[in-house]
């Protein structure tokens, strides 16, 4: 059997082919373009690569055009963690030397000796991979929006506390268009105190507000005209300019998050697994798309539910040495899926009586902290999701939480 290792780089790649005995059969330096990809495929074909028996490939990345080319057909592509590859390098040389052709040889030998210990990239459908791109991008945009919002809040606390007090009654106050229009009209507290009723009403109308404009304008003017501390005039103006620069970034991140959320809402219902995922309590379109993006739609990806639970970081891990033993939460996990699982478990408490009863039992009878009880609930529900996806069944409350429902009754 032939094994291929590719040391990936930005512009060029090094390729190495080895046989079962570890003998180097071929090596090649290719460019990251169509010509380089053609050279790679021809090299694999010269050594027996075919549609029926493709040569497995190890590479240190799971994305990009090169990976997309390699994943065509039935080929197994293994994304090896660079830290793991560095540990394997020490098996072949103790001098700590490193080179790109040598790293390609190390990757090929990883498959030759330990291919059974590594997981190939899942064979997800094109729609599943497209959903993964959109859901992860929307999640990144949401995190970026929150980060910029926190920066803006911190800046306003330094010189403009009246703005924070004015926007506090609004949900997600700093991310609302009303707040953006008011901050543009009055970037400093001195200018905000001079706003007329007509100017405040105009700012609210520009933001799209249609009801309660007069009452809201009066409330805002009272807050802005209250007695607040001020920075020196020059410092206040400089902070106002800094705030406007942050506001431009926040508006862009809000627009990106909203546009990507709309794209997810359009694409997710088209997936065959959407109906099953949405049948679970606590999972809506956005959160369900994030869960599907991380677990994929390849039914052979996880051997059983335990593998999925470990991948999500929901199941605990045991550390034992001699007479000492401890059970702790997992640190190595899919952080995106784990984050979505925490929100999923939290949202299910208000939509599923069985989930709420399970959570209370973990808190009261077992003495778990909130995070531990949430993680235990997520561990149970993601196992149920695995079962439903494997058997094409919708979520059933009485089957999922029979003991909890009986106690509630």
Q: Can you read off the two tokens belonging to residue 404? A: 């909890």
Asked if the model's pLDDT at residue 333 lies above 80, the reply is yes
Residues 176 and 247 both lie in one domain: yes
pLDDT of res. 215? 93
Q: 154, 109, 97, 88: which is closest to 17 by C-alpha?
A: 109
Look at residues 221, 245, 266 and tell me which one is the last residue of a structural domain.
266
pLDDT at 93 exceeding the cut of 90: no
Q: Which of 92-101, 122-131, 238-247, 310-319 has the lowest mean pLDDT?
A: 92-101
pLDDT of 160: 94
Please indicate, yes or no, if residue 259 is contained in any of the structural domains. yes
Note whether 91 and 208 are same-domain residues. Answer: no
Higher-scoring residue by pLDDT: 49, 185: 185
Local confidence band at 278 (pLDDT 50, 70, 90 cut-offs): very high
Quick one: 176 and 205 in the same domain? yes
Q: What is the CATH number of the domain that holds 23?
A: 3.30.420.40
Q: Is residue 350 scored above 70 in pLDDT?
A: yes
User: Is residue 283 domain-shared with residue 388, that is, in the same domain?
Assistant: yes
Residue 299 within a domain:
yes
Span 290-318, average pLDDT: 91
What pLDDT is attached to residue 102? 87
Q: What is the pLDDT of residues 20-31, one digit of tens each?
A: 988 999 999 999
Residue 162 in this model has a pLDDT that exceeds 70: yes
Q: Mean pLDDT throughout 356-365?
A: 92
Tally of domains in the chain: 3
Q: Is residue 182 part of a domain?
A: yes
Q: Give yes or no: residues 82 and 146 share one domain.
A: no
Q: Do 339 and 390 fall into the same domain?
A: yes
Q: Please state the rounded mean pLDDT for residues 220-248.
A: 94
Are residues 94 and 188 part of one domain? no
For residue 96, is it within any domain? yes
Confidence label for 83 from pLDDT (cuts 50, 70 and 90): confident
The pLDDT tens digits of the residues spanning 137-150 come to 999 999 999 999 99
Is residue 311 one of the residues assigned to a domain?
yes
Share above pLDDT 90 across residues of the chain, in percent, rounded to a whole number? 69
Q: pLDDT at position 84, please?
A: 85
Report residue 222's pLDDT band, with 50, 70 and 90 as the boundaries.
Answer: very high
The reply to whether 125 falls in a domain is no
112, part of any domain? yes
Whether 217 maps to a domain, the answer reads yes
In this structure, are 29 and 91 located in the same domain? yes
Confidence of residue 63 (pLDDT cuts 50, 70, 90): confident
Range of the domain at 60: 3-117
* Residues 317 and 393 grouped into a single domain: yes
What the block records as the tokens of 352 is 């599923």
Residues 7 and 44 occupy one common structural domain: yes
Indicate the residue among 231, 266, 301 that finishes a domain: 266
Verify that 315 and 398 share a domain, yes or no.
yes
Q: Which of 67, 84, 117 is the last residue of a domain?
A: 117
Residues 258 and 278 in one domain: no
Q: State the average pLDDT over residues 108-133.
A: 91
Tell me the average pLDDT of the chain: 91
């Amino acid at each position: 059997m032939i094994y291929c290792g590719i040391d990936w780089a930005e512009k060029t790649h090094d390729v190495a082919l080895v046989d079962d005995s570890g003998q180097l059969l071929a090596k090649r330096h290719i460019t990251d373009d169509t010509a380089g990809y053609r050279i790679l495929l021809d090299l694999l074909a010269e050594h027996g690569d075919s549609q029926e028996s493709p040569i497995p490939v190890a590479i240190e990345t799971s994305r990009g055009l090169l990976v997309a080319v390699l994943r065509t057909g039935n080929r197994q592509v293994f994304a090896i963690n660079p830290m793991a590859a560095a540990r394997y390098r020490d098996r072949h040389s103790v001098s700590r030397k490193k080179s790109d052709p040598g790293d390609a040889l190390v990757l090929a030998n990883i498959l030759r000796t330990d291919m059974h210990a590594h997981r190939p990239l899942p064979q997800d459908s094109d729609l599943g991979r497209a959903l993964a791109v959109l859901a992860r991008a929307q999640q990144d945009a949401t995190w970026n929006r929150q980060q910029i919002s926190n920066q803006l809040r911190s800046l306003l606390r330094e010189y403009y506390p009246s703005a924070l007090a004015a926007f506090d009654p609004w949900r997600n106050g700093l991310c609302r268009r009303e707040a953006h229009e008011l901050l543009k009209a009055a970037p400093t507290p001195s200018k905000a105190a001079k706003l007329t009723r007509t100017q405040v009403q105009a700012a609210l109308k520009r933001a799209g507000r249609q009801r309660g404009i007069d009452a809201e304008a009066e409330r805002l003017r009272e807050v802005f005209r209250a007695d607040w501390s001020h920075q020196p005039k020059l410092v206040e103006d400089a902070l106002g300019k800094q705030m406007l620069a942050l506001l431009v970034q926040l508006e862009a991140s809000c627009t990106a998050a909203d546009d990507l959320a709309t794209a997810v809402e359009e694409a997710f219902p088209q997936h065959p697994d959407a109906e099953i995922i949405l049948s679970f309590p606590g999972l809506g379109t956005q959160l369900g798309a994030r869960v599907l993006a991380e677990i994929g739609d390849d039914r052979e990806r996880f051997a059983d539910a335990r593998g999925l639970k470990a991948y999500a970081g929901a199941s605990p891990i045991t550390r034992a040495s001699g007479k000492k033993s401890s059970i702790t939460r997992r640190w190595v996990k899919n952080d995106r899926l784990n984050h979505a699982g925490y929100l999923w478990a939290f949202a299910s408490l208000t939509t599923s009586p069985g989930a709420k009863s399970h959570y209370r039992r973990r808190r009261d009878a077992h003495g778990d902290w909130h995070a531990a009880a949430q993680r235990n609930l997520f561990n149970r529900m993601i196992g149920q999701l695995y079962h439903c996806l494997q058997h094409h069944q919708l979520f059933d409350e009485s089957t999922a939480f029979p003991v909890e429902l009986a106690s509630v009754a």
